[in-house]
Structure 1
Amino acid sequence: MHGLGVALAAALLACACASTREAVGAGALTAQGPVTVSWQDPAGFSEPTFGAMTVDRGTWIRPLAEYLREQAERLLPPGHRLDVELLDVNRAGEYEPGRTPAGSDFRVVRDIYPPRIHLRFRHLDGSGAVVAEGERRLVDVGFLQRSGALDTDPLRFEKRLLDDWLRRELGAR
């Protein structure tokens, strides 16, 4: 019985690991307002969607997309539209194996692991004419020097990177 119990436990663990490696898939926010945000499947992103002992199924992509839409709506001139597709995201920090007493992976944030976002966008004016479009590869190599000591938002570095891009692309209002 002992061998059967071990085999059963191993099989259950293998199934659990397989199910935790699923990412959220490609998607988009529900259409509302002048800003649309969509994304590729996070499983193909530079950002790991899982570590050996860490489950990160790309569930952070939707809150990041919602933030992008909210911020863009504030800066977008009346009547204009903005369509953004997140092509790749590599969040600040990296998973480093075995850095805890239990030997599990966890995210280590160092200046050598800056946040990076690759996106495609299209900005249209009120008549539908293209104001600007293209792809941008965003990176913030000084992200740790600008961090707020009390900010605990796990997406704070990526959000600030998007804020910087929006201000450059749409201008401050």
Structure 2
Amino acid sequence: MRVFAWLMVLVMSPMVSAAGGDDQQWPTQDGPVTVVWQSPDDYRDVRASSGRQDRYENHVFATLGKEFQKRLQPTLAEGETLTIVVTDLDLAGDVRPSFGAAANDIRVVKSIYPPGINFQWTLKGADGKAIASDSVEIRELNFENTASKMRYQSEALHYELRMIERWVDRDLPEKLASR
């Protein structure tokens, strides 16, 4: 019995020290397109319906950050860099408690809970000087009826990925063309 107790202490001690740390490092994608997640605890809705909250947030931030990189990197000229600082995120749907056999909450996705993201971006030239910048607030009100939703249907964050794609295709070229 004592051996079991000591084993539990040894196994649980890294989890306790990791859970107690306030210096959570969220994925920040670096390179020509850098994505920074600023104060994620203040975001409107990045709640996990099941599992560990920090793992879910890590997955969400990594997935959306990679999408920003994939979409924006081809728009940059040689030597240019683009920094995106995300200040708010609201995932599609709303997390509600389940009052049934399941112990986990559920995310209810309805048109009254559209996805949204707020961020600032700054484009810098090869010399490091700012060329253009803007503050962006995207809210995809008609997210359930978008024509190309099939492209991301197998992805966990398909509404949010589509929202980023539409912003890059529809709104960003105007800003880059004015430089």
The letter for the 1-side match of 2:42 is: G
Give the SS at the match of 1:160: helix
How far 1:56 sits from its partner (Å)?
3.2
Give the equivalent residue in structure 2 for 1:63.
Answer: 63
Give the equivalent residue in structure 2 for 1:42.
Answer: 40
Give the equivalent residue in structure 2 for 1:84.
Answer: 84
The letter for the 2-side match of 1:95 is: V
Counterpart Cα distance in 1 of 2:128 and 2:69: 19
- Tell me, yes or no, if the aligned pair for 2:152 and 2:161 is still in contact at 8 Å: no
User: Which deviates more, 138-147 or 102-111?
Assistant: 102-111
Counterpart Cα distance in 1 of 2:46 and 2:73: 30
Counterpart Cα distance in 2 of 1:37 and 1:150: 21
Counterpart Cα distance in 1 of 2:74 and 2:99: 41
| Structure with the higher helix share, 1 or 2 | 2
The letter for the 1-side match of 2:112 is: I
Structure 1, unaligned runs of 5 or more: 1-14
Counterpart Cα distance in 2 of 1:127 and 1:142: 41
How far 1:74 sits from its partner (Å)?
1.9
Structure 2, unaligned runs of 5 or more: 1-14
How far 1:118 sits from its partner (Å)?
0.5
- Tell me, yes or no, if the aligned pair for 1:54 and 1:105 is still in contact at 8 Å: no
How far 1:99 sits from its partner (Å)?
5.4
Query: Which of the numbers 159, 166, 174 marks the counterpart of 1:157?
Result: 159
Q: What does residue range 22-37 of structure 1 map to in structure 2 within 5 Å?
A: 24-26=24-26, 28-29=28-29, 31-32=30-31, 34-37=32-35
The letter for the 2-side match of 1:155 is: L
Please, what TM-score do these two structures have when normalized by structure 2? Answer: 0.71
- Tell me, yes or no, if the aligned pair for 2:152 and 2:158 is still in contact at 8 Å: no
How far 1:101 sits from its partner (Å)?
3.2
- Tell me, yes or no, if the aligned pair for 2:111 and 2:142 is still in contact at 8 Å: yes
Give the equivalent residue in structure 2 for 1:170.
Answer: 173
Counterpart Cα distance in 2 of 1:24 and 1:94: 24
Give the equivalent residue in structure 2 for 1:11.
Answer: none
Counterpart Cα distance in 1 of 2:93 and 2:33: 29
How far 1:166 sits from its partner (Å)?
1.8
> Structure 1 149/119 Cα, relative in aligned 2: closer, same or farther at 3 Å?
closer
